[in-house]
DNA sequence: CCGCATCCGGGGCGATACTG
DNA sequence: CAGTATCGCCCCGGATGCGG
């Protein structure tokens, strides 16, 4: 990107991360951790390959991310955030919280979706409503991608990939799933909107928020 | 900007504020409060007038800012952030704190500067080192623009425009001024780098940080 | 298959000129 | 003061190719 040529810290930050796609690359690295070029590409539907390569070069030069050789079994290099890049994660998170208000109408017809994009909203909204209960595991699934939510001793942990022995599974379209997570819909309403539900209703109700804090 | 077409809150946020110049417009409205088109234009050196007009239209349509008729004596309309837009201010602030690390080398030869751009760094770094002392007033000046810093009862307030009866005045180039504010330079070092200083040294040392918290 | 580089068409952007 | 109009350029998007 052309520099703004302003001696202002906000402008200098945007000189580095203000380019198109740049903050979404940070998002992917924040949600996935160290990953391959191809993983990034899959998490950024719509990006041109040359643009991704160019952005990665720029961000590496700016000290925001680094490449590291993968451990022996793998032949490829891994890309991950540096300390400087990790300092951006809370900002990307907050930006995502601000953007939630533009999602309540549901996805546009040609919107793509990846399950791990729900991580930030899930971290914000999900709480362990029964901190004294036994550990519980929930799987959320859209298309072929899954995300695991584990509640244990009052803590909620969200991780990409399928859950090991889920007590409950939620699957279906993104919109009712997000509605449930954010408290806009309860489980019955989400099911009525097409969400598929299996397993322990108790587990779902333990994790999902009771009220809707989004404006 | 073309939408990213991703049903992700970060992408949706960037669909609204990810365009070039957009977050800098938010910065200006955050630092100035309600202001005129021309004020924005002056605070955004380098922007094309058609782009500013177009961005303002888009941001108004997105509910981020609004236009309001000025009180009778003035003939022009004022532009200000809505609640939704004000929710972006902490994000812009944090982005600015992150961008500080790219300013330590000083401005590029063709960088422009406005004094009120120091507001975010000043809010972060300046503290009242003598909360029991009498109110103190400091003016910082670069070129023709000034910024006032008032310390009173342990609180520090920063406002655009000249100070009324400043106990001390700092004037000169942006870089030594920022170095002083951020704690990279003490007053003598800043003066050695060309900063002009007048008035009460005690007032300056009361407000400026003792150590450098920037990496 | 992974990680790009290259090419090309379209549109966002930058700069200037002009207007109510 | 507050924009609109115009034009050229370069960034971006999409497709293809290619070496490891």
Residue B125 three-state SS: helix
Q: Is residue B70 scored above 80 in pLDDT?
A: no
Non-local CB neighbours of A57 within 8 Å, separated by 6+ positions: none
Residue A75 has a pLDDT of: 73
Contact B138, B166 (CB under 8 A): yes
Q: Classify residue B161 as left (phi > 0), alpha (psi -120 to 50) or beta.
A: left
Q: Measure CB to CB from residue A99 to each of B5, B13, B97 and give the nearest one.
A: B13
**pLDDT average, residue stretch B103-122:** 95
Successive 10-residue mean pLDDT values, chain A, 215 residues: 94 97 98 95 96 97 92 81 98 97 93 96 94 94 94 93 94 96 94 95 92 51
Nearest CA in chain A to B107: A7
User: In this predicted model, what pLDDT tens digit does every residue of B191-200 receive, in sequence order?
Assistant: 999 999 999 9
Sign for the CA dihedral angle at A201, A203, A206, A211 comes to negative
CA of A99 to C1' of C15 (A): 33
Contact, B38 CB vs strand C, < 7 Å: no
Q: What share of chain B is helix, strand, coil (3-state, %, to 5)?
A: 40, 20, 40
C-alpha span between B115 and B117 (Å, rounded): 5
B141 vs A: CB within 8 A: no
Residue A178 has a pLDDT of: 96
What is the residue-wise DSSP string for A91-144?
Answer: HHHHHHHHHGGGTTT---TT-B--GGGGHHHHHHH---S-TTSPPEEEEEEETT
CA of A7 to C1' of C9 (A): 36
Contact A4, B6 (CB under 8 A): no
**pLDDT average, residue stretch B48-76:** 91
Q: Is residue B215 scored above 90 in pLDDT?
A: no
Residue A149 has a pLDDT of: 96
Which residues does chain B have within 8 Å of residue A213's beta carbon, measured at their own beta carbons? none
Residue A1 has a pLDDT of: 75
Q: Measure CB to CB from residue B112 to each of A5, A113, A174 and give the nearest one.
A: A5
User: In this predicted model, what pLDDT tens digit does every residue of B115-157 receive, in sequence order?
Assistant: 999 999 999 999 999 999 999 999 999 998 999 999 998 999 9
Residue B211 has a pLDDT of: 56
Q: Measure CB to CB from residue A13 to each of B46, B87, B96 and give the nearest one.
A: B96
Tokens at residue B78, please?
């004022």
Nearest to A89 by CA among A156, A33, A161: A33
Which residues does chain A have within 8 Å of residue B40's beta carbon, measured at their own beta carbons? none
Average pLDDT, chain B: 93
For residue B139, list its beta bridge partners.
Answer: B148, B169
Tokens at residue A166, please?
């889920």
Residues 34-73 of B with CB under 7 A from strand D: 36-39, 48-50, 53-54, 56
The Cα of B186 is separated from the nearest Cα of chain A by a number of Å equal to: 20
Q: Is residue B210 scored above 80 in pLDDT?
A: no
User: In this predicted model, what pLDDT tens digit does every residue of B3-46 receive, in sequence order?
Assistant: 999 999 999 999 999 999 999 999 999 999 999 999 999 999 99
Contact A151, A207 (CB under 8 A): yes
C-alpha span between A158 and A150 (Å, rounded): 7
Residue B82 three-state SS: coil
Token pair 């000025």 is at which residue? Answer: B70
Contact B59, B29 (CB under 8 A): no
């Amino acid at each position: 990107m052309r520099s703004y040529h302003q001696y202002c810290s906000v402008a200098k930050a945007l000189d580095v991360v203000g380019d198109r796609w740049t903050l979404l690359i940070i998002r992917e690295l924040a949600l996935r951790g160290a990953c391959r070029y191809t993983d990034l590409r899959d998490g950024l539907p719509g990006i041109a390959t040359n643009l991704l390569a160019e952005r990665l070069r720029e961000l590496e030069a700016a000290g925001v991310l680094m490449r590291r050789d993968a451990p022996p079994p793998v032949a490829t290099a891994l890309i991950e955030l540096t300390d400087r890049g990790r300092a951006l994660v809370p900002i990307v998170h907050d930006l995502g919280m601000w953007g939630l208000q533009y999602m309540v109408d549901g996805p546009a017809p040609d919107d793509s979706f990846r399950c791990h994009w729900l991580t930030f909203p899930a971290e914000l909204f999900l709480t362990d409503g029964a901190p004294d209960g036994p550990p519980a595991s929930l799987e959320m699934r859209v298309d072929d991608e899954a995300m695991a939510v584990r509640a244990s001793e009052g803590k909620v942990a969200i991780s990409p990939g399928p859950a090991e022995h889920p007590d409950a599974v939620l699957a279906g379209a993104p919109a009712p799933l997000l509605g449930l997570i954010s408290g806009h819909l309860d489980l019955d309403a989400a099911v009525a909107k097409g969400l598929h539900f299996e397993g322990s209703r108790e587990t779902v109700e333990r994790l999902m928020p009771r009220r809707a804090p989004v404006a």
